[in-house]
Structure formats: structure tokens, C-alpha cells
Amino acid sequence: RIPLKQFKSIKTQLKEKGELEEFWRNHDPDIFARRYLHCFPADTALSLGTVSERLYDYMNAQYYGVVSVGTPPQRFTVIFDTGSSNFWVPSAYCISEACRVHEKFKSFQSDSYEHKGETFSLQYGTGQLLGVAGKDTLQISNISIKGQDFGESVFEPGLTFALAHFDGVLGLGYPSLSVDNSLPVFDSIMNQQLVEEPVFSFYLKRGDDTENGGELILGGIDHSRYKGSIHWVPVTEKSYWQIHLNNIKIQGRVTFCSHGCEAIVDSGTSLITGPSSQIRRLQQYIGASPAQTGEFLVDCRRLSSLPHISFTIGHHEYKLTAEQYVIKSIEDQTFCMSGFQSLDITTRSGPLWILGDVFMSVFYCIFDRGNDRVGFAKAV
């Protein structure tokens, strides 16, 4: 069991300081790539105009837990991210501002460290994270994983990771999503037979109790965390935890995705995202107005009159009330933020919706690698 803490997201921090618009201007992918191009090795392709998907996710991510790397153990806070597959933490040799304010891994102090002699780079929408690959013992709660592949970042350009509460990211996606053939952490756990079942599950809590943000359970299901029965759906593409959505209903009427569409269940994204054209319409249905900072706002006093929104998955309806799909601000009690956001991700199977933490905090989510399926039950 790994307890999760809930922090203010990077985006919220920037917004509170009035710096969000300036951040977006400076971190436009093309501007960013041009600014930092000279910092990267010649054989690293910095693509212009890429989608800001992963970095956008981390700007909104809010749930973190603690792991340790090395012998003796060195502690780090990480996002447990079902939307990626690599594990990385900052290196003691990192030269970026982001690393100055975070815990750094000192490989020279670890008796169990192995240098792999390779560099790695992870492409984010607004830049790249560069580092070196290594292997070491990873401790998660009472599990000790020997020879885990991981990356030590030496260059984390830009402001995003400097503002983050987390030191690194621990991906829980499928191996096909992994960069540089690194074996994902849960695959190592399965290979080393460290859990009873090849299953992990998330129980996320929303609210003001930041210390108690829920938990990630490795190796099984906590039956006290949900009520009713678990409904299972198959994974349709083994990279992300991708599943099929039958449709999306507003107040019981099919409004989006009427012929079915694909979605990913992603603990590294805090909101529910979908294709721009459909999310714009959805915001109109719930009376949300665009703010200058890119999100959509709803009058908190109108919540009781807003429609419920249901996601039909495996012909079972998962209903969200307005209280569940809006995010209340502690600072401003008048306006609530819509829990829906535009994000265009195109894949072979068409545009993807993301069921992020707004969805996962209402439903207990179980990720079953043994049977390649995802289970949902009503969280208590």
C-alpha cells in the first residue's frame, strides 16, 4: 500500500500568482524548442510543434507518493502515472533549475547501482527531458525490486518541473509505451514475483485533506474501498490503459461518442479530456465559460441545476454529478473550474478521451495486467 498525497497542481500555483498566461507564452512548443536547441546533443531530435500532452498532464497532476532508490535508500516523491511507462528521478549531476529544488539521486552513494552507459530522452510537449540510464534497487512500500531500469535526468528545461511538488515520475503503462526499452516497474514486480496477483488499483480522494489523498495498492484489490460489484472491460490497445467507450450521455441522452470511441484511464491527468470540438460543446451544456487562463469556469451557486454526465463503458453507466465533475477553488468560492478540458490526441483508433483523476476519484479503478482489463466500482 502506497499512501498518496494531494498537492496544488503546477497550473493552480501559476494561476494564483497571476503567471499562467506568461508561462504559456514562454512555453509554446516552437518557441521552447528554438530557445533550448543548442542545449541538446546533435543526435537528439527536438521536434517543433509537438502536442503538449504529457507535460500538460503533469501541470495538472496532483497525486504523489514516496519511493526509495539505491542502497542505502534515497527517498523521492513521484507521480504514479498510468499514462506513461518510464521511471525517472533527478540526478545529482543535473544542471537545471528544476533539480536545484528537488531531491537528486547520488549514484556514487549507492552500493547496488549499475550504470547502463546509455542516455535517454523523454519527449514532452514543451521540451525534452534528457538523462542517463541506470539500474538500481527500488523500494516501494514493503516491496524491494532488484535491478530496476530507471532514468536519472540531467537536464529538465523550462519552469514546469521547477514548480512541481514531485521529484520524478513512475510510469505504470505497458512496456510498448516505454522509451529506450526500459522495463516498466510493474513488469519488474511481476517478473520477480513480488505480488500475489499481477494487479494494482487506485483509490483517489478529492477534498481539502491533502495528506490523505488516497492510496495505490500493488498486487490486489481492497474490497473496503468500493461498494457494489466490479465491472470489467478489456484493454483495447496495450500501451496506455486504453478501453472502449460506448457513449457519453448528458442527463441520460447520448450526446457524444454515439458510435463508440476510445479512452485511456490515466492517473497522471487530473481532468477528463476529449477532442476540442466535443469538449467545447460539452462546456456549453454545463454552462461553463472560458477564462483567459485556458480553463472553463462554472458559477458554483448553480451546481444543483447542472446536468449529470455519464460514461457508458462495457454497457455499464458511470455517472458524474456536477459536484463531482467541477473543481472548487479554496480561494474563490464563486467560480468553480470545469473538470473537462480540450486535448486532441489522435491515434490509429481515432481521437482519445482521457479519464483522469476527476473520474478516478469517483470510481475505484483496478488495472489487471494478468487479464489485460480494467475494473471499475463505485468508490466509498
Locate 333 and state its grid cell: 468560492
For this structure, is 28 an active site residue? Answer: no
The runs of H, that is alpha helices, within the chain are 10-16, 20-26, 29-36, 53-60, 97-100, 160-163, 185-191, 276-285, 322-325, 357-360
Distance CA 271, CA 295 (A): 11
Q: Are 129 and 156 in contact (CB under 8 A)?
A: yes
Annotated catalytic residue, options 57, 81, 136, 187: 81
Decide the pairing of beta strands 87-90 and 143-155: parallel
Question: Which letter does DSSP use for residue 196 in this model?
Answer: S
Annotated catalytic residue, options 136, 187, 266, 357: 266
Q: Which helix (H) or strand (E) holds 38?
A: none
Locate 335 and state its grid cell: 467560480
Distance CA 161, CA 46 (A): 18
Longest dimension (CA), the chain: 60
Phi, psi of 22 (to 5 degrees): -65, -40
Distance CA 253, CA 309 (A): 9
Distance CA 162, CA 326 (A): 27
Residue carrying the nine cell digits 537528439: 44
Q: In terms of Cα–Cα distance, which of 245, 216, 270, 251 is closest to 322?
A: 251
Decide the pairing of beta strands 253-256 and 340-342: unpaired
For this structure, is 357 an active site residue? Answer: no
Q: For residue 72, is the peptide bond before it cis, meaning its omega torsion is within 30 degrees of 0? A: yes
Q: In terms of Cα–Cα distance, which of 335, 311, 310, 339 is closest to 324?
A: 339
Strand partners, 119: 132
Residue carrying the nine cell digits 441522452: 253
Strand partners, 238: 241
Residues tagged active-site? 81, 266
